[in-house]
Amino acid sequence: MGMESLAGILLSLVIVGLICYLLWWLIGYIALPAPFDKVARVLIAVFAVIYIIGLLTGSWAVFPILRMR
C-alpha cells in the first residue's frame, strides 16, 4: 500500500465525512418533523458506516448493492 493509495483513502474519507456532516446540519437547519428527522439521520449514519467499512476492508463484496465496477 503506497502513499498514493493512503492519500486517496484519506481524501475520500474527508469528502464523504464533509457531505454527511452537511446533510446532518441541513436536516437540523430545516427543522423536519420528529419522525422524518430521526429517519433521515439514521439513513445518513447507516450510509456513513457502510461506506467506511467498505473503504477500510478494501472490498465491496460484503455489500453487493454498493459494489463499484
Name the pLDDT band for 68 (thresholds 50, 70, 90): low
Q: Are the beta carbons of 30 and 22 closer than 8 angstroms?
A: no
Is the model's pTM score more than 0.75?
Answer: no
Helix (H, G, I), strand (E, B) or coil at 29: helix
Is the pLDDT higher at 39 or at 64? 39
Residue 45: predicted pLDDT: 93
